[in-house]
Every structure is written in structure tokens, then in C-alpha cells.
Amino acid sequence: MEFRRRALSKPHRSLTPAGAFPAKSGSSTRVQASDALPLPIRHTNKLFSVLFMASMYYLMCRWREKIRTGAPLHTLTLSDIPAIVGFIASLVYLISFFGIAYVQSFVSSHYDEDDFLLSSDQPAPCPLSCSKKSPLAAESLFGDDEEIVSAVVAGKIPSYVLEAKLGDCRRAAGIRREAISRLTGRGMEGLPLDGFDYSSILGQCCEMPVGYVQLPVGIAGPLLLNGKEYFVPMATTEGCLVASTNRGCKAIALSDGAVCVVLKDGMTRAPVVRFATAKRAAELKFFLEDPRNFETLEIVFNRSSRFAKLQGIKCSLAGKNLYMRFSCLTGDAMGMNMVSKGVQNVLDWLQNDFPDMDVISISGNFCSDKKPAAVNWIEGRGKSVVCEAIIKEETVRKVLKTTVPALVELNTLKNLAGSAVAGALGGFNAHASNIVTAIYIATGQDPAQNVESSHCITMMEAVNDNNDLHISVTMPSIEVGTVGGGTQLASQSACLNLLGVKGANSDSPGANSRLLATIVAGSVLAGELSLMSALAAGQLVKSHMKYNRSSKDISKALPPDS
């Protein structure tokens, strides 16, 4: 608190325009209630603590004296009254200050995830909140930007504590950027710094920022899915991708749309524990998989969140090591943190009956996260979705420029047989990961989870007397959320809002994230349809030469001083 008052009274000097970052900060200092105190907060705490101890000591001595002399306890002298007033005042202050802080920290540590599930538009935490996480951040940092940059370059100030010490996320990013430039001898002029709210990523999205990367966002659609139209945002730098997906959306819309169904919904986490013997590990496996114990395990697991709902536990044994795959509903959150907290609750509870259990890791890769794995392909992870459409023969011929027999044959030889020859795991498709990744980046999902989220098998079959095309995509591991993580950022939040799935669904928890998963699957269906048609018609190279190669003279488009 003292830092905030002094910082306001002493403006910092920043680098000139010749430096790597501008002078003014993009964020303002928030005023705290404690700033109204006449003394710094630590001095005020000490004052009331001393007053409390002194008045309590005096009153106890007076109480003992009255008992010894036989004087009535309710009689008060002039010196007793100030002592009682001081005792009550200090007691009220200390209970209010420390009591509320304790309760608030206790509640936030248990329900922080639930809070953002209920309200996704809450502002980011105060930059100084990270002072609790680092001992170095407890000290205030003063001086102009040039002095601080020099200290960072010299290693006197760690770069990662700048936000906490300065209380200004934009200024911290600029100082860090300049320090990195001096350390490496390389500039970052092409990387934008201004125009971004760095406080929105503090503590949840990215550490030690020095700027942000610009990605173009295109719109494909309308995608007619389950009777409703969606305009799908796609963040990509690959030419033809949005255009191709858009053509697939057009073909689907002209054929009465696509139908999508969520088959399963459950995020997983699989810790690995070790015992002295395989027999003992097997005993825990039988205990966890016994239906009679599920209700108890469910109660223990669900304590982690109001939205956590344990669905099942499947175990696998490797010698004396036990892998336990927990699956649970997580509301509209993608849910990795939520399921991890629930698993930790169960592990702590199991330790009472299995004290010889050695917990090796909260994640033993039987989950399996951000890695291609047969368990996700078979059992599913996140949302398991199937999407289908019947494309009319006329649309195949006029819009997709090919024929139904050619598409069916190509799908069999490429997506099915070709992928089998390659030994593909979940890769029985043309380019599902293209669409998944573009939508994930645009809507604030974890891009690394495109690995298992892109597991997809594309099926094509001639129907209606071999005139029309039935196409479907089955995707068992779409991992998405509409709250938490990158979904809170302004750009990504706008893309979610465009799809009508922004934030948590208060009427039916999880409905928004499930709808987003169906939109992802529907978009993949459109992308598969269009790319396969381009391949069948021999148009792929021609299209990429037209849309993915620029004949523009870049040097003429740049400013003269570039």
C-alpha cells in the first residue's frame, strides 16, 4: 500500500522515442481502501496490535486486583474506560482486517475456478497480487525505466518480478522487451507492444510478455448445423483454408445442413502411484473399480468444485505401478485444473486406507493430454462428437466440381487405406487439425490440444440410389471450454460471442462448451468435404497457387523508411 501512494506521487521517467518502448503506461493504478489510512498499513497494524495487547494486559490486572480486594467487578474508574474503549476498537480492527483477509483467501483458494465459471467477464487480478507468489515482489521498485532496464540486464532484478514490483503490466512488458533487446543485440521492431491489455493475461495466460503476435481471423459460413446458422472464426496464416472451409459450408447449407450429436462429455486425469508389490497395487485397482465404492469416491472427488461430477475410474497396471484414469464433467470449462483438484482430493483420502501408496505424479500420461494416444481414440476425452450431412448430387457437381463416386473412392484409398498404411493413430482424415487449430486459436483454446482434438475418422458413402453423398466425421476427443484461460481475452471472447457460446451457461452448465464442440466438428466436416473435392477434381495445386502465393511486390507496400 505504501508503494502505491509513493508511486503516485513520484512519476517515472521513460525512454525516449528512440528507445524500444514509449513513455506512457497503458494501465492506471487502482485505488485501494487502505490508501485512505493516515499511516501506512503496516504501521497501522502494529499500532492496533500494541493497543490490543496493552489494553488487555491492563484490564486483566484490574480484574485480578478487584477480585483480591473484593471490589465489585462492574465498577469502573476513569482509567478503565479508555482501556475498554481501546480494547474494543483494536479487537474490531484486528478481526476485520485479518479475519476478512483469512476468510477471503480461504474461499478464493477453494472456489476460484467456480467464480470464473459463473462469471467470465470479471476483470483480471491486480498486478500487485503476484507479490504473494514471490518473495522478491514484496519490495517496491523505484527509479526510471532506464535504471530498471540496466538492473535487469545486469541480473540484479529478475525479469519475472517486474509486474509485481512495478504494479504496471504494460510498463513491465516494455522494460523487459528493451532488456531482452540489449542482451541479445537484436531488435523486436516488428513485434507490436502497444494496443494490448497485459493485465488480462497476468497469472493465467502468459508469463514475462514482451509483445503480442498478430494473426488474421477469417470467417467461414454460414455453417448450417442442427437447424441453426453459425459464422465460424478461424485464425490462420494458411491461404485457402478459410476459403475452402467456406465452400464446404456452402455445400452443406445447400443440402439442408448438417446434424451433430455429442456422444460423451468428460475430461480425464490419470495419476500414477507405486506400491511395494504388484499384489498391493492390484488391491487398490479392485477397490477403485468396485461399483460399491463409487458413491464414496464421487463425494470426495466432487468437493473440488460445484461443477465437478465424477463419471468413472478406469485403472491399468504396469507391474507394481497403478495408473488411475479419472473422468468427470467440468461444466463449461475445459476442466484440466478442475479434474486435477478432484483427483488430488481422492489421492489424499486414499492415503488413509493405503498408507503404503507412493504418489509418483498427478499425471501419469494415461490421461492422455497433448499426445496422440489410443486411449483417447477409443475411450474419448473432452467431448466425443459425431457430425453428418447428406450432400446432394447436384451440389457435389456444381459447387464441389466433382462426383459422388470419385469422392467415395478417394476417401477409401486416402483417408482409410492410406492412413492404415501409414500406421496412423486417429488420423483417418484429410486435414481435421487445420480447422481445429484455427478455431482453437481464434476462440482462446489451448492450441497444443489440437493433437488429440484432431483425432477424426472421415467416412463417405453413396446413398439415395448412389446419387447423393453421405459424409460424416467422428471425433472422440474435442477438448474445448468457453470460460477460463485464453477465452477471457478480449479478441477471443469476441469470437466466442460471435458463435453465441461466450462464458458459462447459467441454465445448463456445460451447454456452451458442448455447442462449441459441435461447431468445431461441423467445421471439420465442411473442411473435409471441400479439400477432398479439390483433390478428387485435381484442383489442390491450382487453388494454392491462386490463394496461397502472393505476386505483390512487398517492398512497394512498405513505408520508405522500413
Catalytic machinery residues: 238, 370, 446, 544
* Residue 216 preceded by cis peptide, ω within 30: no
3-state secondary structure of 543: helix
Return d(Cα 283, Cα 322) in angstroms, integer.
10
CB atoms within 10 A of CB 323: 21
Return d(Cα 116, Cα 121) in angstroms, integer.
8
Cell numbers placing 357: 501408496
Please name the residue ranges forming H helices in 19-97: 41-69, 80-94
- CA angle, residues 536, 542, 548, in degrees to nearest 5: 120
From 292, 310, 294, 312, select the one nearest 302 (Cα to Cα): 310
Residue for grid cell 461430477: 309
3-class secondary structure per residue, 440-477 = HHHHCCCHHHHHHHCCEEEEEEEECCCCEEEEEEEEEE
3-class secondary structure per residue, 506-537 = CCCCCHHHHHHHHHHHHHHHHHHHHHHHHHHC
Return d(Cα 543, Cα 306) in angstroms, integer.
50
Residue for grid cell 466440381: 401
Q: Where are the beta strands (DSSP E) in 22-91?
A: none
From 371, 489, 495, select the one nearest 426 (Cα to Cα): 371
3-state secondary structure of 299: helix
- CA neighbours within 13 Å on the CB side: how many for 235? 17
| Cβ–Cβ < 8 Å for 333, 488 | no
* Cα→Cα distances 239→74, 111, 217, 218, 535, Å: 88, 43, 12, 11, 16
Phi-psi region of 520 (alpha: psi -120 to 50; beta: other; left: phi over 0): alpha
Give the pairing type, strands 456-463 and 427-428. parallel
Helix (H) or strand (E) holding 344, with range, is helix 336-353
Return d(Cα 203, Cα 208) in angstroms, integer.
10
